Structure 1
């Protein structure tokens, strides 16, 4: 039953790989939760301004 062993090894390898990826998902940027929230809000406002500026000429549908 080498097939079962291969499947088990593949599961272990995949679990290890996905675990390593999720560890570094959120980097430590040295900001508090409030500072991070403020920074993200400013970024989203800039994106919104850019989207509004690009869509002035035509109609925008969602």
Structure 2
């Protein structure tokens, strides 16, 4: 019976791993429509930033092959 407390130890380890992770409901005070608008704006900013990096990164490539 050397593995009698394995289940208990595993529960303790799982609790320790998930210690800082607590699920919280969405308490941002926004309606679903406002949340959609906020998320759309963030997505547009993200894609614009990525496009700007791609445009700048391709031109700054250097000598490369000729």
Provide TM-score, normalisation by structure 1: 0.61
**Would you say 1:34 and 2:33 are equivalent positions?**
yes
The number of residue pairs the alignment matches comes to: 57
Q: Any gaps of 5 or more consecutive residues in structure 2?
A: 60-66
Structure with a larger share of its residues in helix? 1
4+ runs of 1 displaced by more than 3 Å?
15-18
Cα RMSD (Å) of the superposition?
A: 2.9
| TM-score, with structure 2 as normaliser | 0.59
The structure having more radius of gyration, on CA atoms, is 2
